[in-house]
Chains A and B, each alone.
Chain A
Amino acid sequence: MKILIVEDERELAKSMVQYLRQESYVCELAYTAQEAIEKVLLHEYDCILLDISLPDGNGLSILEKLKKEGKLDGVIIISAKNSLDDKIRGLNLGADDYLAKPFHLSELGARISAVIRRKRFDGSNSISFHELSIDLLGKVTSVNSHLVDLTRKEYDLLLFLVSNKNRVVSKNAIAEHLSGDAAEVFDNFDFIYAHMKNLKKKLTEAGSHDYIKTIYGLGYKFEA
């Protein structure tokens, strides 16, 4: 799967490439709007990460150009502005998602996999992994075709980990993914531990292999 990263901050771009490479994505980089437009016209990408504040032009104009060329599928806008206006304008122009800096790489990973899945499976999609199967439309999980009764939070947690499989996902990223702005009120991440314990228990009891590993001090990893 090919991803184009349009980001003028080279260090951030490098981090993204390095993180996404582990998920067997092929990443290409564009540091300027000009480069981005050239690349988009020449190649097909599954997903485009687009920073809208580039030195040589507003990223939203690239978005307009992409729309004209009919290559708008799978664009995730990345912005340091986090302004509602930009978000609405970007989404109205046809972008698939909007992510405000500073984001967690695992959050980016989850967003990319969601965008790609949507694009590929035309909406009716599910993720299968050996005995484990997640139906993204029905938001249900099954092990060996038997439904596992997960709460909303447990389902979100599983999907988040699966979207970042083989990578350590920090408790901080999980907390923010699950609770959004409310995460900042938590003085510790004990609540994640409780959800995680329940999730693991429910999956193993249903006959699944215990894919979720606890990484000391840092977080969790879905090991394939």
Chain B
Amino acid sequence: MRLLKRTVKNYVLFSALLLLVCTPLYYLTIRQLFINEMEEELFHHKNNFIETAARLETEKEIQLYQLINEEFILTESAQWPIADSLYTYSQYDSLENESIPFRALRTSVTIQNKHYQLVIRESIVGNTKLVAAIVSVQAGLLILLLIGLVLINRKLSKDIWGPFYIILEKLKQYQIDKDLSIELPKSSTVEFRDLSEALVQLVNKSRDAYLNQKEFTENASHELQTPIAIFRSKLELLMQGKDITHDQADLISSLLNATDRIARLNKNLLLLSKIENRQFIATLEVSVNTSLYQSLELYGQLAKDKELEINVDTNSELLVKTNPILLDILLNNLISNAIRHTREKNQITIRIDKRSLQVSNPGNPLKNPEKIFQRFNRESRNSQGSGLGLAILKMICEIEQFEVSYNYTQNQHQFIISFLE
């Protein structure tokens, strides 16, 4: 839920609750006040009547008086005295065609030594209407207040939170590996200004760390080249000795092999970081078919040694806009991987379609196929590989925006590279 909605929601809920609870309360209170007022009035009328009635002399006068003041209902009563009592009743009015509620006071009076029951009544229709009118005006005002509150709040929030949304949008668009720095708006609100400053600092720090880490691998690999060269050269000098025993020869040979592996590993790490650092940029339109045949020539001897049959099935010429060096590395890695992991006297199949390249070779299923493209993820420790070949392949695909997928079907490992149009 948006911050704006969240604040407004609370205001609206509170105001609605207030409106719902207070309107009936208000109505009831006002009504009660009116009725109290009316009752006082009724007693006041009674006193007036008693005063006036004392001056009436004949029965006729009494009747006339009653006719003029229709709120007085005077009836002869045997029961006397009657205690004052207040009550409400309804009476049907044929003119208005509705029943009209009255508030009435029943009491007793004595006129000319005769006992009467006196009922003084007053219609409360008018009063109720007045109360309703007052309450609805009041409610209307409350509703208007509420709407105003929401609108003003929304407008204010929009203005106040504006810089926040701009900052958020800028952060979403920021890419650490592409953008140099980040520009955030300068707000006059202290909190947002602080936020902007803190974020710019954070982004710059992260970017520095990212660049350092990126450069580190490359620099470390570079620095390692010289000691490896020294080590290898000393071994080669050691080899030249005249009286080397078989045991010593075996030791030197093991050291030479280990040095080869270190050198290879370092070379591939360097290559990987160079690809990651986008040092291969120039692109050309290259034929995958041609590059593939070159690569097959490079590894032909190896396939021959293992008596592997490589079937190439090309349906069409596949032209791709890419860096030719990266394409060569990609194909070499794909093919050497297939050759390395195929047992002797088997068959490797390569297919070139309109927009894709497919390499499949037979083999046992992998234990962790989902980790196949991870660095240094090797199924067996015996392999002489650097553990970086497929990671490099994946990285090239990411940089060049090719799609690479691996699957295992019918005892075949299958790599598919899709080149987008």
Contact = CB atoms under 8 A, between A and B. Distances in A.
Interface of A: 9, 11-12, 15-16, 18-19, 22, 80-84, 100-106, 153, 167-168, 170-173, 176, 179-182, 184-187, 190-191, 215-219
List the 3 closest pairs (A to B, CB-CB), nearest first.
Answer: A217-B249, A15-B233, A102-B229
Contacts of B278: none
B249 A216 contact: yes
B257 A102 contact: no
Contacts of B279: 83
Contacts of B252: 217-218
The prevalent SS among residues of B at the interface is helix
A186 B336 CA distance: 10
Contacts of A104: 232, 236
B250 interface: yes
Contact of B384 (A106, A167, A187): A187
Contacts of A171: 253
24 contacts: A9-B226, A11-B230, A12-B226, A12-B233, A80-B229, A84-B325, A102-B229, A102-B232, A102-B263, A103-B232, A104-B232, A168-B240, A171-B253, A172-B256, A173-B236, A179-B298, A182-B299, A182-B302, A184-B336, A185-B302, A190-B305, A215-B244, A216-B249, A218-B244
A186 B228 contact: no
Contacts of B244: 215, 218
B305 A184 contact: no
B31 interface: no
- Which interface residue of A102, A191, A215 has the most chain B CB atoms within 10 A? A102
Nearest to A51: B226
Contacts of A176: 260
Interface string B288-324: 0000000000110110010000000000000000000
A186 B252 CA distance: 19
Contacts of B228: 101-102
A101 B249 CA distance: 24
B208 to A, nearest CB: 24
